[in-house]
Structure 1
Amino acid sequence: MDIDRVRYFHVFADTGSLVRASEVLHISQPALSKALRLLESEIGIKLVETDGRGLKLSEAGRTFRSETSALLDSWLKIPEKIKSSEKWTPTKIGSFEVFTTYFLGHLSDSLNLEGLEVHELGPGKLEEAIAHGQVDLGITYVPVPKVGVEFLEVSKISMGVFGISKKFSSIDFSDLPFVIPLLPSEGTPSKVIGLDGWPDHRFERKVKFRVTVMGSALELCRKGISVAYLPRFIVELYNKSVQAEFRLSELKSPIPMKERSQSVFIIYKKGSTETTLHRQVAKCLRSLS
């Protein structure tokens, strides 16, 4: 059956008038009459009959209308269902809090975040989620080799020890009270233990506080209670949102300047093809360096 003819028939049945149906369908009355005749010929059933100077549904026409109503409705909704499915297929990005908290705003300038799912996972767990297809794309600077995933270095970000200058600028490094991430890396082959990327095997530091959320670490730094090893772009964004007296400054560090950088990697499932998402995320990450 021609679906347009079935639709024309339903409009005629709903309006009860060739004149009104042709107005609704924006076609001429002769064209509508022809379509109804062709539909009757196609299915071999008399659907309409004369009623004075007009037309009305036959008994068979009323049955045909009842039987095809749900089918027509489902047919007409197919394109919208497909569009809706495409529109709301979530994009799943995974990382840990450094990026999920502070990088998203930057990413939104070049990427439509509608339907985005953000998964906060630590190193090791992040790679595992990507290998199993639970996350589409990961961002990390503490890569953990896992079967089924690949890494692409896309940028480097500068790191530093930051705190309130007037409180800590004159204190020896060995006495600085650090706040560090509570969640350790899992399975990293390097000797970097924490999520902040500090090279513990080379430089000891006095750890006074451990927190799960970076916001808590920044609050301790803001109050002059501790210092933290942080990406410079995080501090720059943070300083824009607080009063001058609470802004953080970079303090002396035993790590040589040329080594105060972290390679940033995109993680993706092995064998997957590069997508627009890969390119957009990589471009945004490069702009942070």
Structure 2
Amino acid sequence: MSQPALSKALRLLEQEVGTKLLEPEGRGLRLTPAGQRFKDETAGLLDQWLKVPENLLRSDSEKVPYRLGSFEVFTTYFLSHLLKSVDLGPLELHEYRPGRLEQAIAEGVVDIGITYAPIPKSGVDFTEVTKIKMGIFGLKKFKGLNWSELPFVVPLLPTQGTPSKVQGLDGWPDHEFNRQILYRVTMMESAMELCRQGLCVAYLPEFVVSLHNKALLPDYRLIELESPLSQKERKQSVFLIQRKNNPESTLYRQIAKSLRNLG
């Protein structure tokens, strides 16, 4: 939409609602108090309107399942958080390693992917939607030790082909800080069990540990330990992936919003 057309549309909207919704702020615009109330009051209506095309395509007699793909950090822990705020209906949950996830999206096997280790792939688009806090977590017995003395459990296979220098699937910058690695596992739940038993520590998303600790007795809860990484370095970007040129669906926006709420 051109700028003149947008200005005209906004003037018509203000005439229809009978109040001023926007006011100048520097070289831009901001919502007036009435504009903010209008936004809040119409948010639900806008969401319903945006769902109309999808609802027309999805008949009650033939509901096509949503196909969501990620790796275990998100499929195990983020899914429960997502289901509290989003009615997914029929769902196919695909678990892939980075690289294979992007390929599945390019091939049409998966509709939307979630990752923090994006692998460039022809035919897919990446959108950074939020940043999550990472940290070193283990039992209290490790408190006070220097990070270089800590025994780590790490993903069995590193990721390759990421545009950043992050090499490990857990997001640790192996090119900067060499860890004392005691265990290598395929499944994150195996890593969590080793941590619960006090055998090692792991580099994990803070939201995962928070959800994990809610279900455990105090003796098995994990705490954050000393790290050589700054607060900024511990922020891990999270990306949504979909096929190139696909329009953002309602589900895409809902997943993005739910991810942002993790922070």
TM-score by length of 2: 0.76
Read off the aligned partner of 1:286 and give its amino acid letter: R
C-alpha distance in structure 1 between counterparts of 2:98 and 2:158, whole Å = 8
Q: Tell me the residue number matched to 1:134.
A: 109
Gaps of 5+ in 1: 1-80
Q: Following the alignment from structure 1 to structure 2, what is the Cα–Cα distance between the partners of residues 82 and 248? A: 46
- Corresponding letter in the other structure for 1:84: S
Superposed displacement of residue 188, structure 1: 1.6
Greater Cα shift, 105-114 or 123-132: 105-114
Of 147, 153, 171, which aligns to 1:179?
153
**Structure 1 counterpart of 2:103, which letter?**
E
2:208 alignment partner in structure 1: 234
Residue 213 of structure 1 pairs with residue 187 of structure 2 = yes
The answer on 1:83 being equivalent to 2:60 is yes
| Partner-residue secondary structure (3-state), 1:198 | coil
Deviations 1:213-233 (A, max 9, x none): 111111111111000000000
How far did 1:108 drift?
0.6
Q: 2:138 aligns with which of 156, 159, 163?
A: 163
Aligned length: 206
Q: Distance in 1 between matches of 2:106 and 2:159?
A: 17
Partners of 1:247 and 1:162 in 2: CA distance? 10
Deviation at 1:184, TM superposition (A): 2.4
Q: Distance in 2 between matches of 1:285 and 1:144?
A: 20
SS at match of 2:122: coil
Inter-partner Cα distance in structure 1 for 2:246 and 2:59: 24
Per the alignment, residue 116 of structure 1 pairs with: 91
Instruction: Return the alpha-carbon distance in structure 2 between the equivalents of residues 196 and 227 of structure 1.
Output: 12
Alignment RMSD:
1.3
Which of 150, 164, 168 aligns to 2:125? It is: 150
SS in 2 for 1:83: coil
Match among 91, 104, 111 for residue 79 of structure 2: 104
Show the counterpart of 2:100.
125
- For residues 262 and 155 of structure 2, the distance between their equivalents in structure 1, rounded to whole angstroms, comes to 22
- Structure-2 separation of matches of 1:102 and 1:173: 26
Of the three residues 207, 221, 243, the one matched with 1:247 is 221
Offset of 1:82 from its aligned partner?
A: 5.5
Q: How far has the Cα of 1:84 moved from its partner? A: 2.0
> Distance between the aligned counterparts of 2:146 and 2:257, measured in 1?
39
Task: Tell me which amino acid in the other structure corresponds to 1:187.
Answer: G
Question: What code does the residue aligned with 2:167 have?
Answer: I
Q: Distance in 2 between matches of 1:287 and 1:176?
A: 31
- Whether the 8 Å CA contact 2:154–2:191 is kept in 1: the answer is yes
Distance 2:59 2:91 in 1: 19
Mapped partners of 1:207, 1:127: distance in 2: 28
Residues 189 and 221 of structure 1: CA distance in aligned 2, closer, same or farther (over 3 Å): same
> Is 1:203–2:203 an aligned residue pair?
no
Report how far residue 279 of structure 1 moved. Answer: 0.6
Amino acid of the residue matched to residue 207 of structure 1?
I
Structure 2 stretches lacking a partner, 5+ long: 1-57
Cα deviations across residues 194-252 of structure 1 (Å, max 9, x unaligned)?
11000011111111101111111111111110000000000000010000111111000
2:115, 2:238 within 8 Å by CA — same for their partners in 1?
yes
- Tell me: higher relative CO, structure 1 or 2? Use CA pairs within 8 A at least 6 residues apart: 2
Structure 1 window deviating more from structure 2 (176-185 vs 268-277): it is 176-185
Overall identity of the aligned pairs, in %: 60
Deviations 1:134-172 (A, max 9, x none): 10000011111110011111110000000012x111322
